[in-house]
Every structure is written in structure tokens, then in C-alpha cells.
Chain A
């Protein structure tokens, strides 16, 4: 078993549910070929650095897994057949240093997933600061109006 990482870009033209379904299908490809998914990291919809198949945006998803090296060719073949995928990048983590880095990345992704899960649980907390921000904008707008007569008064004094 060797440690791998796969970055997958799904077409942005699909709906949210279709994207989730295709991500699940991609993970299914890995598990059906004997892979063990350590963790996944959703980077979400992002702007691509250059258009791929005339798409300016893409849904980025990263999968960390370990699998026997022989299975990678089959996994990549299945990815190439998948028309919902714009691009995939497979990275091998082989040396001791790389494996250590892989462990760190998995831990980081787990932490990120836990954070986003916590944020989803308490949507009320995010709404409160948004409500307080609106009066601040009104206060800032008020002094600007007051300054206008002052500016008019100075040329008159000269």
C-alpha cells in the first residue's frame, strides 16, 4: 500500500447535487479498486488559472488515500473515461519525508472539515455580526453629509 493524493476538478456546469454525486462516484472508483480513503478536502468552486474545455471555473476536490501501486493505472483510466471531470492530478507520496508530509496534510484536512462542520452547526453566530455591521455603515455616511457645508463655507470666508 502506497500513499497517494488526487486532486479532481469537476465541471462547473453541473448542479450542486450532481457535483456531490460525481464526487461520490469518484471516491467509489478508488474504494472499488482496493483503496482506503484517509480523508477528503473540499476546496469548492474556484476560478481556474486558465480555461479548460472553455470552462472558466471548476469544483476542486482533494482525496487522500492509500492503495496498491498497481491499481493506480486502473483508477486513472476510469478518471479519463469520466466526462464530468475537467482535470485530475495524482501525486505519489513515497519517501519517508513525503509520507510525513502526507500525514500532516491529512491532519490539516481533517481539522478543516471539523471547522466547517462546526460553522454549519451554528449559523446563528454568523448572522449576529452581520446585523451589527449595517448600522455602522449608516453612521459613516452621516458625517460625510455634514462636511459638505463646511467646504462651501471656506471659499466664502476668503
Chain B
């Protein structure tokens, strides 16, 4: 019945900033949509819109191929260097 919204309504940050194009070489900008282990964050958690989620997922995959962002991080690497090479 009168169920309250558990989380506050989220807005797409990229829409707010009017992002038209993302550059895969700017690794710091990709941080927002990456988890601690460099997984791509789902839309339900970041609040990205479909258009920008599609853009960011392509850009992150390009950055992974270019060895700018890791594909996976082992447990050891997570502890020793949290986001050190993302700058």
C-alpha cells in the first residue's frame, strides 16, 4: 500500500552536465561509473540515463583495451592501491 520510496530519486549526472561526448583517455572522469573493483556500475545505482550509460559502457571498454583501466582487480591489489593509477 502507501509504500514509500526507499531511495531518493536519482538524476543522470551526465545529463545535468550536458555531456555530449566522452573521451576514453580521461580516466578520472570514468571513476564515477566504476566500482571499487573496476566493474561498470549498474544504472540503478548511479542513476545514469540509458543514453549516457550506453556511452560510458563503450568508453570504459575502450579504456580497458588501451590498458588505462584494469579489467579486474585481485583482492590484494584492491587493498594495496585503491584508485592509485586512476588519475
Decide if B66 touches A7 in the complex (CB within 8 Å): yes
Decide if A49 touches B70 in the complex (CB within 8 Å): yes
With beta carbons under 8 angstroms apart, the residue of B62, B70, B71, B85 that contacts A91 is: B62
Interface SS, B side: loop
Q: Taking CB as reference atom, which chain A residue is nearest B70?
A: A49
With beta carbons under 8 angstroms apart, the residue of B20, B21, B24, B67 that contacts A52 is: B67
Decide if A101 touches B62 in the complex (CB within 8 Å): no
Q: Distance (Å) between the CB of A136 and the closest chain B CB?
A: 26
Bound together, the chains give a CA A52 to CA B64 distance in angstroms of: 12
**CB of B43 within 8 A of chain A?**
no
**CB of A98 within 8 A of chain B?**
yes
Q: A49-B70, A52-B67 are in contact. List 15 more A-B contacts (CB 8 A).
A: A7-B66, A47-B85, A48-B67, A49-B67, A49-B69, A50-B70, A87-B67, A89-B62, A91-B24, A97-B21, A98-B21, A100-B20, A100-B21, A101-B21, A104-B21
**CB of A63 within 8 A of chain B?**
no
**Top 6 A-B residue pairs of the complex, sorted by shortest distance between their CB atoms:** A101-B21, A49-B70, A48-B67, A89-B66, A49-B67, A50-B70
**CB of B65 within 8 A of chain A?**
yes
8 CB < 8 A contacts A-B: A7-B25, A9-B67, A43-B25, A50-B67, A50-B70, A52-B67, A87-B66, A89-B66
Q: Taking CB as reference atom, which chain B residue is nearest A41?
A: B25
